[in-house]
A and B are shown apart, each in its own frame.
Chain A
Amino acid sequence: MLRFAWQNLITRPTRTILAVSGLTIPILAILGLFSLTNGIRALMGNTLARMNGLMIMSENSPAPVFSDLPAAMGDEFKKIKGTRMVAPEIWKICPQLEGRNLLARAATRMFTGRGDQKFSSFAETIMIEGQSLPEHLNLKSGVYEQGILPREKGGGRFLRLEDIGQPRVLISTKIARDYPGADGKPKQVGETLHIGGKPFEIIGIYETGSFLVDMTVVMEITTARKLLGIGEETVSTFYIEPDHVTDLNLLSERIRQQIEGVQVKSMSQFNVQVGNIMGRLDLFLLLTVSLALLVGAVGIANTMLTSAMERIVEFGVMRANGWTRRDVLGLVTVESALLGLLSGVLAVLAAGGAVAFVNMLLAKLELRLELSFVLVAGSVAAAVAIAVAAGLYPAWRASRMTPMDAIRNGAS
């Protein structure tokens, strides 16, 4: 039966190709979009997993760079039971770096760069983080400090107390590479980086492996205030670590109860929030792609209905030779399922190639499109299910005629 159904499809190649294309394209879109959201989800998870603490931001601010809090609020946090360390931070989007802003640099790369450079710059926004050193130097989970490259690789050192007020910065290997020196080589420790037109000495180079974290220029907080024009009475966020006996969620709850006008985010909460956002994004994408899927399903239904009507006599002859209604129904349904399977497999192959190509373009970013087994299996299953559903009516039409009606009506 399967072989017969397959023969029926391949002997009408044009119609089969059109029907398969109609379903392949939306399935391909699903695979592409969901592999992107999977990649973003993984990237966010990797980044947030590196931090073990609470981030305090002003209420309703979507990200640290948009948050402003009174610096004096730090004393209130210190009083809360279970707090081990309260580390003030300044977060802002980086002003001109080496005389170029983001858009100018991205546009330049678009025309002069090769391969992945052409596109990756559009995904990059450099941020400044100013750290209050007395506190940050005593954190247990110092992401940047742990990420300093070994001395033999030119990693330099982390910030020290003597760097307070000094124009010294840590940059990532990525920033060093993206903003090379006059000789075209990546910036090295001891060289100068111009931020907002001002010279800063590079004292350390780090690499955390997280695309998002590695987009940060780290400096001491008073240096950041001078650069960004932020007064001493203001900070962007507080990073709070619990003591060794206090659960992070418990500390988070205490802060919420005792301090108003702030939002408390644990990194796991960030993860959940990211998951929720990505979930909504997935739903939105699914709704959008559903329209294309509907069009694909209509195409399959149209193909199968036309095919069934053309073969009325054939079905009559089959019935005359002992085929039951269920056999005819099964034949047309198997043909629909094969169309769906073909669409799903083609979409997976195309998506696999596209994902590999895009990942090659994004080679220097941590972001990777992820084509998971569940996504692949789900897409193929969905393609088959949609095709079978679309083929049910044509199959029913084909099976309901009596053999004599089919032979006579088809012949006339």
Chain B
Amino acid sequence: MAHLEPASTAATAEAQSAVMIRVSNLKKSFQSGDELVEALRGVDLEIERGSCTFIVGPSGSGKSTLLYLLGALDEPSSGEISIEGQTVTAMSETDRDHFRRSRIGFVFQQFNLIPNLDAVGNVLLPFIPTGLNRTLRNKAVGLLEDVGLGHRLRHRPSRLSGGQQQRVAIARALVKDPAILLADEPTGNLDHKGADEIFEILRREQRVHGRTLVVVTHDRRFIREGDRVIEILDGKIVA
């Protein structure tokens, strides 16, 4: 876990600075049949601590790839990502696993809840391998109550609406007290009302708890004044 400790004065300084995420010349390519697809072609950006950042762009532009790389779900072909002064791209696989468990919260478009687990079980998913205790259960229940699902604690995903499922997914992301919330089209499968509710929760987490929020979306109606908007086209930031 060496990468997760403040290893140097510089890293400590950056951990305390306004910059939460720093990306340098990030490239990602992969083979698709005979074709080499360049999903990201040298991305540079900085995202401030506690900010709300939208990554927008057409389908296939590379925005989700960038989000997954920021969350250490995948490895770049080249370039560097550092978060709170820690170079994520230099971490071992085990350290990346620990990093995801402790610092990053994910929200997916498809909700991706575990069908065999009820709402509380899904929220506790990150901690199943390390062991569950009463404190964690209480925390999960509290989070579900916070997102308006106090009456659906024992319901499995099949008995929840899309909006409710996404709220469970948000609670699952929050149970880790993440510094960064990454959301990939979180309202893509929801109606307007449901989408509004989800964004309200995400905004609250950013505003009240100071979490850094990064959202990939097609829907620009949630963008407010003061939000950072990064537009990607063909694997490059264009605005």
Name A's B-contacting residues (CB within 8 A): 1, 4, 7-8, 11, 313-314, 316-325, 327, 330, 402-405, 407, 411
Total count of chain B residues near the partner, CB < 8 A:
27
B178 → A minimal CB distance (Å): 10
Is the CB of B112 closer than 8 A to any CB of chain A? yes
B129 lies within 8 A of A325 (CB): no
A319 lies within 8 A of B94 (CB): no
B100 lies within 8 A of A322 (CB): yes
B74 lies within 8 A of A323 (CB): no
A319 lies within 8 A of B117 (CB): no
Is the CB of B110 closer than 8 A to any CB of chain A? yes
10 A-B pairs with least C-beta separation? A322-B101, A404-B74, A327-B129, A321-B126, A403-B73, A317-B112, A324-B97, A404-B73, A11-B116, A7-B116
Is the CB of B93 closer than 8 A to any CB of chain A? yes
Residue of B nearest to A313 (CB): B112
A8 lies within 8 A of B116 (CB): yes
Residues of B within 8 A of A317 (CB): 108, 112, 114, 125
B112 lies within 8 A of A323 (CB): no
B21 → A minimal CB distance (Å): 17
A322 lies within 8 A of B176 (CB): yes
Q: With the chains together, A407 CA to B98 CA distance in Å?
A: 19
Q: A319-B73, A322-B176, A404-B74 are in contact. List 10 more A-B contacts (CB 8 A).
A: A1-B128, A1-B129, A4-B121, A313-B112, A321-B172, A322-B98, A323-B97, A323-B101, A403-B100, A404-B73
Instruction: Give the A-B contact count at a CB cut-off of 8 A.
Output: 69
A321 lies within 8 A of B114 (CB): no
Residues of A within 8 A of B94 (CB): 324
B114 lies within 8 A of A319 (CB): no
Residues of A within 8 A of B129 (CB): 1, 323-324, 327, 330
Is the CB of B71 closer than 8 A to any CB of chain A? yes
A325 lies within 8 A of B106 (CB): no
Is the CB of B102 closer than 8 A to any CB of chain A? yes
Residues of A within 8 A of B71 (CB): 320
A7 lies within 8 A of B117 (CB): yes
Q: With the chains together, A8 CA to B116 CA distance in Å?
A: 6
12 A-B interface contacts by CB (under 8 A): A4-B121, A313-B112, A318-B125, A320-B100, A321-B100, A321-B101, A321-B172, A322-B98, A323-B126, A330-B129, A405-B74, A407-B108
Residues of A within 8 A of B106 (CB): 320-321
Is the CB of B148 closer than 8 A to any CB of chain A? no
Name B's A-contacting residues (CB within 8 A): 68, 71, 73-75, 93-94, 97-98, 100-102, 106, 108, 110, 112, 114-117, 121, 125-126, 128-129, 172, 176
B128 lies within 8 A of A403 (CB): no
Most buried by A among B115, B172, B176: B115
Q: With the chains together, A163 CA to B74 CA distance in Å?
A: 98
- Which of A314, A327, A402, A411 contacts B73, CB < 8 Å? A402
Residues of A within 8 A of B100 (CB): 319-322, 403
Residues of B within 8 A of A319 (CB): 73, 97, 100
A4 lies within 8 A of B97 (CB): no
Q: With the chains together, A316 CA to B97 CA distance in Å?
A: 12
Q: With the chains together, A349 CA to B75 CA distance in Å?
A: 51
Residues of A within 8 A of B75 (CB): 402
Q: Given the known A-B contacts A317-B108, A318-B125, are A402 and B74 also in contact in the complex, defined by CB atoms under 8 Å?
A: yes
Residues of A within 8 A of B108 (CB): 317, 407
Q: With the chains together, A1 CA to B114 CA distance in Å?
A: 14
Most buried by B among A1, A4, A325, A402: A4
A408 → B minimal CB distance (Å): 9
Q: With the chains together, A411 CA to B189 CA distance in Å?
A: 14
Residues of A within 8 A of B176 (CB): 321-322
Residues of A within 8 A of B102 (CB): 322
B58 → A minimal CB distance (Å): 18
B74 lies within 8 A of A321 (CB): no
B101 lies within 8 A of A411 (CB): no
Residues of A within 8 A of B98 (CB): 322
B180 → A minimal CB distance (Å): 13
Residues of A within 8 A of B110 (CB): 313, 411
Residues of A within 8 A of B68 (CB): 403-404
Residues of B within 8 A of A325 (CB): 93
A386 → B minimal CB distance (Å): 25
Q: With the chains together, A8 CA to B110 CA distance in Å?
A: 20
A299 → B minimal CB distance (Å): 22
A322 lies within 8 A of B126 (CB): yes
Residue of A nearest to B71 (CB): A320
Residues of B within 8 A of A327 (CB): 129
Residue of A nearest to B94 (CB): A324
A320 → B minimal CB distance (Å): 5
Q: With the chains together, A4 CA to B131 CA distance in Å?
A: 11
A310 → B minimal CB distance (Å): 10
